[in-house]
Structure 1
Amino acid sequence: MKKTDYEQFAGKKCQELIQIQERFRTQFELGNYQQWYYDAELALLRLYNNDEDQIYLKYIPIGTFSFTSETWMWSWFNEHSVEPNKGSILAVKEFGIKNNYTKLTEGTFPADEFDCWEFAAISLDMLNGMGLYRVSTEKLQSYFLITAVLDENSREVVHFNQAKVTCKIHGLSRPAFICQHLDLKNPKGFEESFDTYKGMELDEEDDFAAWCDECERVRMKYNGWNEDSEEFAKIKLVCEDCYFELKDFNKAE
């Protein structure tokens, strides 16, 4: 079966990506970092093991793959993508229009992992990026085009770190809030303000917040949070990593 023009083009870009990506990952030792966090409003990705072993990467969001619907969505089409530079990916769409490559012009459609890497490889080539990075959560894979490595003292990195808490175990991370009873000794249930997963984007007014089953009973007794129910819960500050460790341990199966 003869390959289409698009298949030949995408295949060539994926072959080129292999060497580019290998050099990129080797140069910055990206495989050594176990944790990640990104700030969409700053389009800044932090890879880290601790506060002394970390790297900050500037990125352009390419798109996302949904495990639930098995669909791809370009960042320019995604209303939840708030990165200020996502419009750069429209250059890929314009290229697709000129060449009648519909996968580059439609906002969202059924896809698989091979498609995603093709889109990422094409974006890397067209926008002259340094390399690619993919972050995965329970529901999504997000593909980032890396454009720069930032110094820890740069203005953007300083701004990035101002909204974080310092955890003795996990270092810098987003803040989260739990009741005094939740721990890693005995499961006590895990009630939340809304359904969460690690790495998810939060609206400006939202926080990770959870409490145990007993706190929920007290909260219902008083018809919500008030002085009495809050006194019983004694909400305390933790980091995002601690929050999800507690969630995994305490939530009902």
Structure 2
Amino acid sequence: MDYEEFADEKCQSLMQIQEEFREKFGIDRYELWHYDAELELLRLYNDDQDQLFLKYIPIGTFSLKSETWMWSWYNEYAAEPSKENLLVIKDFGIKNDYHKLVEGTFSADEFDCWEFAAICFDKLDGIGVYRLTTEKLHSYLLVNKILEDDAVEVIKYRQQKVNCEAHGYSRDAFVCQHLNLEQSKGFEEAFDTYRGMQLDEDDDFQAWCSECEKVRLQSDGWNDESEEFAKIKLICEDCYFELKSFNSK
């Protein structure tokens, strides 16, 4: 069987299972998401009382800008330990001369991505597929387990995150005292960010307003004077991107 026939067969099989998966767990009704790569834990939620925790295996990512696919086993920045499980797919591709399953990264389209997800679902244990969507990437995850609130991974997740009154548990972020959702004050960042991006171990989401930027430049960087003016405070990642959207207008 050539690759096109094989991939189409697996896609047709996944479509029915995927519909049952979405309906059974109400996947589509959650408006927000957050994931922890090291714990391989995906949190879908509307608030702290309405949420779902899922364990996953990373399949790969699709760049919306370059229109390229990258398998998770090839991505050196992917922190998930189970990305090595995807080498089973690579070995299968080598045996069957399916080049798209062997190359680490290459030009693709979104239909290709769902084919890859369907093949992984067929070859690895899973109960469904979830696609995370950001401004720059689509990340495809093979969901293999639904976790209860008292699961070890969920407890660890909560211990490592900021507990925000509005959004529940999320990654921490830091902003100046002036940023708010009432009056746009400009938005300066330590580096360009997007929701859901993976951060290096020593990095944090950090932002400040235009006035803080003036003081920072006048003070030759961050020091006692500029930090006193900014009065940086801790917030959650979701609050951070709400502030970014509003203050970047």
TM-score, with normalisation over the residues of structure 2? 0.98
Q: Give the one of 98, 101, 121 matched to 1:101.
A: 98
Letter aligned with residue 219 of structure 1: R
Match of 1:55 in 2: 52
Please list, as runs of the form range in 1=range in 2, the aligned pairs for 1:68-107 lying within 5 A after superposition.
Answer: 68-107=65-104
Look up the SS of the partner of 1:91 in the other structure.
helix
Structure 1: distance between partners of 2:245 and 2:147: 33
Letter aligned with residue 148 of structure 1: K
Question: Runs of 4 or more off by more than 6 Å in structure 1?
Answer: none
Structure 1: distance between partners of 2:54 and 2:122: 18
Letter aligned with residue 49 of structure 1: N
Q: Give the one of 19, 26, 35 matched to 1:29.
A: 26
Q: Give the one of 196, 204, 209 matched to 2:206.
A: 209
Look up the SS of the partner of 2:73 in the other structure.
helix
Aligned residues: 249
Structure 2 residue 141 is matched with structure 1 residue 144:
yes
Match of 2:167 in 1: 170
Look up the SS of the partner of 2:226 in the other structure.
helix
Q: CA RMSD in A?
A: 1.0
Structure 1: distance between partners of 2:91 and 2:44: 32
Match of 1:189 in 2: 186
Letter aligned with residue 120 of structure 1: A
Structure 2: distance between partners of 1:173 and 1:41: 14
Q: CA deviation at 1:171?
A: 1.8
Structure 2: distance between partners of 1:100 and 1:115: 17
Letter aligned with residue 55 of structure 1: L
Q: CA deviation at 1:226?
A: 0.9
Q: Give the one of 1, 6, 28 matched to 2:3.
A: 6
Match of 1:15 in 2: 12
Structure 2: distance between partners of 1:96 and 1:11: 15
Cα shift readout 1:87-118 (whole Å, capped 9, x = no counterpart): 11111111110000000000010000000000
Q: CA deviation at 1:128?
A: 2.6
Q: Give the one of 38, 41, 44 matched to 2:38.
A: 41
Structure 2 residue 132 is matched with structure 1 residue 131:
no
Q: CA deviation at 1:32?
A: 1.2
Structure 2: distance between partners of 1:128 and 1:188: 49
Structure 1: distance between partners of 2:165 and 2:40: 26
Look up the SS of the partner of 1:60 in the other structure.
strand
Letter aligned with residue 122 of structure 1: I
Look up the SS of the partner of 2:184 in the other structure.
coil
- Unaligned residue ranges in structure 1 (runs of 5+): none
Q: CA deviation at 1:194?
A: 0.6
TM-score, with normalisation over the residues of structure 1? 0.96
Instruction: Using the aligned pairs only, state the percent identity.
Output: 64
